[in-house]
Structure 1
């Protein structure tokens, strides 16, 4: 005889619910941080950071999902289908990787931003419902409206993650720790909201107490697996903090060295915004620093740019005319500028 679990006294373990939110926050923080590495890395390193970011966020969301599932106190014994559990975590990781890859090709493209969020959101939703299908031995039915709402939340959360990770950090240093922490907390609310909306859409029916197949996992084994992955997420989180400090020290050293060089140097980000000019350049440029060609340039001028990047090629200013000869696959290049003097001659 089947019994609806909704009519029984099922509830959530408060400690597990809190832990699931903490994991979601940590994974959100690390993914935002790693996304910045993708933006300012060479072609080879970029894929390493893509895999790291996708793996962290995917595993983090998956861990959050199953910790939250363990928080749900079923009134009957359950176990999990091993193959479906593995498939669910792979879906989360691959979906995050595809989403990050799509947007990393052109962070300014609105169409890529929309597509990456949809791909990533659908994969997160798929991870959830494949994970739910792994719960045995129960029959699961869904409220279609709430399922749609949970998918919309997943896509929206993905847009938030991608926007924060790839669009809000215009420098290699990225956003301050406090702001990044606040955004991570907000993003975690969206991730958790997606999960619990999906749970609200779910109705379980008991099929009795059949024996657990040898190839499947009981909740205690799954708890150990999730705990291990949780430790991994926390480890990545703390390594990310350490990397931040090392990166900032490196930038301070770099700035000090650049400021001591006699040649004029301009450092820009991938979008062409000026990040730093050394004193020698300021002295050379004088009042020409605000020239439009120094504020932005054609995106193709520096292909595959990384920080620190300098305007590639040769630019000459003669009134409103300029000439640029772009180098290929160069992130650091010398620049020759010709600035007009009052007497009509030019300083170089």
Structure 2
């Protein structure tokens, strides 16, 4: 080392040495920067930058060498062979090219960087000793082996270290340090190699005449030219690099803007270590970017998915799949993950897109919920009920359990909707659901089938299912009997329940529901507010009613029903006031069917509308044929009113039959008045405007609201038969009749007392009122031709307290 320093300080011009070192440092730093630029390119672009870097480096090494040779004080004339001088620069360029190319193939791999640097160091050494061969002077150049070996080691070692640093730390500081180490490798190798030189003077000039040599002056010019090119190349590269750096920054900023504007979270990782993320990802994680980069991907995987993420990283899978993502605050989000292989920073990496599918999951769960639940009450719907019944049956088959299915619907619920509106009705349904949950604790499932129909599925030990069903049904009935307080109203409803058992009453959901419905129908016919267990006899009765319904439909279509007429008399009991038209049905197989049976059947099936039209048409046609202008009364059902075309039907029938509207009376019940009051009022007012009369039937047995009498255009009240039949036996009944008559008189309404069946009832009515009368005592319903004599005279002939004109009618009825 001391000898090297002595060679440097005593045998060389310090000024030229400083110049050489400066040019070398500029060249080396420029070369490292050019190599960095080469890393950012691929294909021909990388090859061009690699060749340019090698040319600049080789030129720089060559310039240092010959500036240092010019600084060398040999104390004798020196010249330089042209061919060897030119050959030495080629050695510098070609000898270092493989080293740089190898380094650029994998700069971050230590072994590759060290090997590439070693090759560069050897190329520098080769150039040095080739350049020494160009010297022509009056002495023999002898190289000391130890220093030659030392020069080779120094050049290779520091060349390897320089590229290792440049590859390991690809930053501005790393590039600067790598360039300086490379320059040091050249300088150290050169002066170590110069120390190895021993000059042995010989006789003669040492330069043969005609030799092509560079004199020191010419060499200085050549070196100056090369040095100028190096400095100019360095300046141009600095400008180009700055421009390209700005372009890269602009491109990076543009790509960053694009990445940050993406809705998906984007993460770039290499071997599971995060190296970059976008703004959406930081938002998902809840951490700033600098606290994410450098962490493992596994840090953001939910606990249940860590093994799966490890397996995905190990197999480099890129397929689309779902997994659970964990934010910094512990929140777990379902995400959709898609990966792709990319090159980032000159090395392979993976970009992973994470799409938060929480809202999609919630929407899917909501759709799934709505697909199986009633949106109003939150109870199961028909679809989920059937699934649960089937599942419960499958379990029951493998155990000693049995099932009970309770089908219920609400009594008088329609009146709640009609009187208070559907929003109030919905509130009642919600509260009904809450009461069912409380009353049917431990039920397998509670479902709403729609409207006011509900189902409760129970499990019990075999043999105890009937008792459990009865117990729960009783609790449900008691619970729903309690009034519902909605706003300022107390609403009273009730329920009827039909029960079927598994396996006694059915082997599947359809059969159990069907039989429970049959039992429910029986419960409603029994008076509502009660429960009934399915019995096969119920099914037979139901099938009978279904057959009757079909036969009734056919009878209405073929107009084979009979229309009987029951007379109405004035207060004297003799003078005819009119008739009431009543439908009668003689079944071809079962004989006479009571109106108490087929009228409710018609109402349940919707046949009451065509039946009512048939009665109206027949009654009006018959009345129009009478010689006397007697009135005809026809009953109107709520279903006819709800159909919406009653006014048009009555208008058309009156026009076609020619019956004057004043002779037609339409009888409505009080129950009809509570169904959509405004629409009912409008319809009755339109009927009244036609000129016919409106009669309130069965007055006193329903709501008997005086507001109805004030608002609706009634012409007559009919006192219900229950009050008339109690006359002479119950003083309260007489008081009620007097009150109704007095009310009608004050409102200028006519009165009819129906159900007169005894002489006592007739006498009391004649004494206490001026009401018209109707009943079996005066005349039973019969075909119109039975009353031909009465129609002709307009009065009944009484004999011995009897009315012989109607004995035939009574016998037929």
Deviations 1:203-253 (A, max 9, x none): 112333144534222221111111111011111222232234323422442
Alpha-carbon offset, residue 73 of structure 1: 1.9
Alpha-carbon offset, residue 327 of structure 1: 7.2
**Structure 2 counterpart of 1:238, from 215, 235, 238:** 235
2:212 aligned counterpart, secondary structure: coil
Higher deviation after alignment, 242-251 or 27-36: 242-251
Deviations 1:135-186 (A, max 9, x none): 01331111111111111110022113322433321xxxx315xx64455344
Higher deviation after alignment, 73-82 or 285-294: 285-294
Mapped pair 1:100 → 2:100? yes
CA distance in 2 between counterparts of 1:60 and 1:38 reads 19
1:338 aligned counterpart, secondary structure: strand
Residue of structure 2 equivalent to 1:91: 91
Alpha-carbon offset, residue 84 of structure 1: 1.3
**Higher RCO (C-alpha under 8 Å, 6+ residues apart):** 1
CA distance in 1 between counterparts of 2:109 and 2:81 reads 40
2:267, 2:351 within 8 Å by CA — same for their partners in 1? no
- CA shift in 2, pair 1:282/1:233, >3 Å: same
RMSD after superposition? 4.0
CA distance in 2 between counterparts of 1:47 and 1:98 reads 12
Mapped pair 1:195 → 2:190? yes
Mapped pair 1:220 → 2:221? no
1:23, 1:60 within 8 Å by CA — same for their partners in 2? yes
Residue of structure 1 equivalent to 2:681: none
2:162, 2:181 within 8 Å by CA — same for their partners in 1? no
1:32, 1:164 within 8 Å by CA — same for their partners in 2? no
Residue of structure 2 equivalent to 1:126: 126
Mapped pair 1:338 → 2:333? no
Alpha-carbon offset, residue 194 of structure 1: 1.2
Residue of structure 2 equivalent to 1:305: none
CA distance in 2 between counterparts of 1:12 and 1:315 reads 70
- CA shift in 2, pair 1:266/1:74, >3 Å: farther
Deviations 1:290-319 (A, max 9, x none): 443899x99xx8xxxxxxxxxx96675636
**Structure 2 counterpart of 1:204, from 175, 178, 199:** 199
Q: Give 1 or 2 for the bigger CA radius of gyration.
A: 2
- CA shift in 2, pair 1:143/1:315, >3 Å: farther
Q: Could you say which structure has the higher strand fraction?
A: 2
CA distance in 2 between counterparts of 1:226 and 1:271 reads 49
Deviations 1:50-102 (A, max 9, x none): 10111111110111011000001221112112221122111111122110111
CA distance in 2 between counterparts of 1:52 and 1:22 reads 20
- CA shift in 2, pair 1:114/1:259, >3 Å: closer
CA distance in 2 between counterparts of 1:80 and 1:151 reads 23
CA distance in 1 between counterparts of 2:68 and 2:157 reads 20
Residue of structure 1 equivalent to 2:247: 250
Mapped pair 1:34 → 2:39? no
Residue of structure 2 equivalent to 1:58: 58
Residue of structure 2 equivalent to 1:46: 46
1:258, 1:278 within 8 Å by CA — same for their partners in 2? no
1:73 aligned counterpart, secondary structure: coil
2:144, 2:197 within 8 Å by CA — same for their partners in 1? yes
Deviations 1:190-209 (A, max 9, x none): 32111111101111123331
1:55, 1:96 within 8 Å by CA — same for their partners in 2? no
CA distance in 1 between counterparts of 2:146 and 2:271 reads 41
Alpha-carbon offset, residue 117 of structure 1: 2.4
Residue of structure 1 equivalent to 2:159: 158
Instruction: Show structure 1 runs of 5+ residues with no match.
Output: 1-5, 302-311
2:353 aligned counterpart, secondary structure: coil
- CA shift in 2, pair 1:341/1:241, >3 Å: same
Structure 1 segment 110-125 matched on structure 2, within 5 A: 110-125=110-125
CA distance in 1 between counterparts of 2:194 and 2:131 reads 11
Mapped pair 1:292 → 2:292? no
CA distance in 2 between counterparts of 1:199 and 1:33 reads 29
1:12 aligned counterpart, secondary structure: coil
- CA shift in 2, pair 1:27/1:107, >3 Å: same
CA distance in 1 between counterparts of 2:76 and 2:271 reads 56
Structure 1 segment 73-92 matched on structure 2, within 5 A: 73-92=73-92
- CA shift in 2, pair 1:282/1:50, >3 Å: same
